[in-house]
Structure 1
Amino acid sequence: MTVKQLEHASIKNSWFTEVSDSFPGQGLMLKVEEILHVSQSEFQDVLVFRSTEYGNVLVLDGVVQVSERDEFAYQEMICHVAMMSHECPKRVLVIGGGDGGVLREIVKHESVEAAHLCEIDESVIELSKKYLPNMAVGFDNTKVTVHIRDGFEFIREVARSDEKYDVIITDSSDPDGPAEKFFQREYFQLLHTALNDDGIVITQSSENVWLNFKFVKQLRDICKGVFASVEYCAALLPTYTSGQLGLMVCSKKPTNLKIPKRQWTQEEESSLVRYYNKEIHEASFVLPNWAKHFLEGTSL
C-alpha cells in the first residue's frame, strides 16, 4: 500500500509561493523539501512544510507565519521591545501566538510571575508542538496558562474585570478577514483598560515602509488616540514579504519607548537572545527621512 503524497495549491514543482492581495505586485517563494502537514482547521487553511534552507515553515491561509531559520528575530522583537520598556513586568498576556515563540521569550524575564496566552485555533498549538518544538517549548513553562478562546472576546472580558496586565502582546495574523478587528480602535481601547497604569502593549502592524505604509500611519493614528505614547519600530527577517515587519508599541503613560527601561548584561544577551539587544532596540525605531515625514504628516 502506497502513502498518498501530500499536496497543497500553493506548492508547485517543489516551490511554495506566497501571493497575497495585501502585497500587490510581489510575492515570496521558498524551495520545498517535503510537505509535512495539510489541513483545514475550523478557522483557517494550515500548511507545514520542510524547506531546503529555512527549516520547517508554518503557513496559515497561504501566508508564512514562521520559519525555523529566522523566527527568533520576530519573536524576540515583539516580546523584548515591550518587556524592556516596562520597569518590572509581572503579568503578561499574549493574544494569538499559538506557535509558542513569544511565550518562550517572555519567560526569559525573571520578573514574570504569570504569562497567559489566548489562541483561537488549538490546532496551531498542537502542530507547533510537533513540527516547531524549539518554539513550542514556551508552553512547557509552569508560569504559562493557555486559553483556547477568541482573543477579542477574551480581552473584552478582561477589560470588564479587575484583572490587569503589565504587558499585552498581540501576535495576530495580518489585518484581513477575522483578524481585522485586532487593528481597530475598539480593540486598543480594550487593551488600554486591561492594562495596569504603567502598562505596555505591542502589536505586529503587518506592513512596513515598503508595503502599504498608509496602513501603518492609520494604525499609528488610532493608537495615538488611545495611548499616551506610541512608536513604530521594525524587525528584519527574510521570510516576511520585503524582508521587514513593523511593530507598534504603546504605553499607557507618557514615556520614551525608544530607550529600554531595563537591559541585560552582554553575557546575558549572549546566552538569552540571538537578535535583540539594547542597540537593536534603539535602532529599530530609526526611519528613513521620507517614512518619518510621512508618519508625522510633515513635508520632506
Structure 2
Amino acid sequence: MSIWFIEDETPGYKLQWKVNRILYQKQTKYQYLEVIELEDFGRCLILDGAIQITEKDEFIYNEMISHIPMVTHPNPRKVLIIGGGDGGAAREVLKYKEVEEVQLIEIDEEVINAIREFFPQLAGVFDDRRFKLIVDDGIEFVKSKQDEYDIIIVDSSDPVGPAVNLFEYPFYNDCLKALKQDGILNIQSESPFFNQDIIQKVTKILKGLFKHVDTYLACIPTYPSGLWSFTMASKEYRYSDAGLERANAVDTRYFTPDIFRSCFTLPKFVKDILCE
C-alpha cells in the first residue's frame, strides 16, 4: 500500500506527495520535525506538517531569497540570516567573495542536527570559515544589534508557532535598527493566492519603516500554489539600481540577470493585493 504525505493548506485545498521512506520524526521544543524521502522530490524537511525544503527544488527558493538582495546591495560584507536552519540561504550568500561574515540565527537546534544528518549537500556550508551559527531566538537576538549588517534575510517558516512574531512591527523595527544606513532587509512573504493578508500586512509595516519596498515572485513547485512572494526593503537601494554584472559571477541554477529583471514584474492580481 502506498504512503502519501498530505499538507493541508485550507479546508478545500491539500497537496500530497508519494512517500518512499520516513527517515526521521521528532517533536522538538518548538515544533514537529520530519525528514521524509519523496518519490519525485527526494528528501524533504517538514516542520509542523509543512514542507520547508526538498532536494529537488530547494535551489529555487534559496537562490531567490538570497541573490536578489545580494545583487541589489553594491558591497555586502556582513549578512544576518534569521531562520534558514537548512543552510541553503547561507550557501548562496557565501558564493560572493566580498562577504566577510554570515551569521545564521536558528531557534531550533534540532533543525540543524537533522540537516547535518540527512542533507549533507546543505550542511557543508556550516564548515565555511566565514559562517557563524548561533542557536538563539532571532527576535531577541536582533534587539541587541544596531547599525551592524549590510543585509538581513528573514528565512522564516509560515507565521505560526515560533515564527509568528517574525511578521510583526516590533521585529521589523528592530531589523531596521540592526541594519547599516544603506542596509537591505529581505523576507519571504508567503503565497499571493492563499496569504494575501500577510502580504498586505508586511508591505504596510515595511513601507512605514523603509524608503523603498518592493515585492517579487518565484515559482516553487512544492509550495502551496507554486507561486511565492518575497519582499525587499531598503533605506537606500532599489532593485533598479543593481549592478547586474555581479549576478553573472555566481554559479546558480535558477537565478540569472534576466530572472532578476523579470521577477519584479507582477501580475495584476498581485498589484491589486498590494494596493488594497
TM-score range, shorter chain: over 0.9
Deviation at 1:262, TM superposition (A): 4.0
Tell me, yes or no, if the aligned pair for 1:205 and 1:247 is still in contact at 8 Å.
yes
Tell me, yes or no, if the aligned pair for 1:259 and 1:282 is still in contact at 8 Å.
no
- Aligned pair partner of 1:31 in 18, 22, 42: 18
Tell me, yes or no, if the aligned pair for 1:233 and 1:286 is still in contact at 8 Å.
yes
Q: Secondary structure at the match of 2:245?
A: coil
Tell me, yes or no, if the aligned pair for 1:99 and 1:136 is still in contact at 8 Å.
yes
Q: Secondary structure at the match of 2:98?
A: coil
TM-score by length of structure 2 reads 0.95
Question: In structure 1, what is the Cα distance between the partners aligned to 2:196 and 2:17?
Answer: 25
Partner of 2:69: 82
TM-score by length of structure 1 reads 0.88
Partner of 2:234: 251
Q: Does 1:188 align with 2:172?
A: yes
Q: Does 1:15 align with 2:12?
A: no
Letter in 1 for 2:8: V
Moved more, 46-55 or 255-264: 255-264
Letter in 1 for 2:204: D
Partner of 2:184: 200
Q: Secondary structure at the match of 2:246?
A: coil
Question: In structure 1, what is the Cα distance between the partners aligned to 2:98 and 2:11?
Answer: 43
Q: Give CA deviations for 1:136-195 in whole Å, capped at 9, x if unaligned.
A: 222111000111100100001114xxx600000001111113211111111111111001
Tell me, yes or no, if the aligned pair for 1:229 and 1:257 is still in contact at 8 Å.
no
Letter in 2 for 1:15: W
Question: In structure 2, what is the Cα distance between the partners aligned to 1:44 and 1:290?
Answer: 34
Tell me, yes or no, if the aligned pair for 1:260 and 1:281 is still in contact at 8 Å.
no
Q: Secondary structure at the match of 1:264?
A: helix
Q: Does 1:136 align with 2:102?
A: no
Question: In structure 2, what is the Cα distance between the partners aligned to 1:189 and 1:262?
Answer: 29
Q: Does 1:114 align with 2:107?
A: no
Tell me, yes or no, if the aligned pair for 1:57 and 1:65 is still in contact at 8 Å.
yes
Moved more, 105-114 or 171-180: 171-180
Question: In structure 2, what is the Cα distance between the partners aligned to 1:139 and 1:262?
Answer: 28
- Aligned pair partner of 2:92 in 75, 82, 105: 105
Tell me, yes or no, if the aligned pair for 1:175 and 1:206 is still in contact at 8 Å.
no
Q: Does 1:234 align with 2:221?
A: no
- Aligned pair partner of 2:204 in 221, 246, 250: 221
Deviation at 1:215, TM superposition (A): 2.2
Moved more, 67-76 or 121-130: 121-130
Q: Does 1:282 align with 2:261?
A: yes
Give the number of the structure whose alpha-carbon radius of gyration is greater: 1
Number of equivalent positions: 276
Structure having the higher strand fraction is: 2
Deviation at 1:93, TM superposition (A): 0.4
Tell me, yes or no, if the aligned pair for 2:74 and 2:242 is still in contact at 8 Å.
no
Deviation at 1:259, TM superposition (A): 5.2
Deviation at 1:244, TM superposition (A): 1.6
Deviation at 1:263, TM superposition (A): 3.0
Deviation at 1:294, TM superposition (A): 3.3
Deviation at 1:33, TM superposition (A): 0.3
Identity over aligned residues, as a percent? 37
- Aligned pair partner of 1:42 in 29, 44, 58: 29
Tell me, yes or no, if the aligned pair for 2:30 and 2:161 is still in contact at 8 Å.
no
Tell me, yes or no, if the aligned pair for 2:191 and 2:224 is still in contact at 8 Å.
no
Structure 2, unpaired ranges of 5+: none
- Aligned pair partner of 1:73 in 39, 49, 60: 60
Letter in 1 for 2:220: L
Tell me, yes or no, if the aligned pair for 1:33 and 1:50 is still in contact at 8 Å.
yes
Partner of 2:152: 168
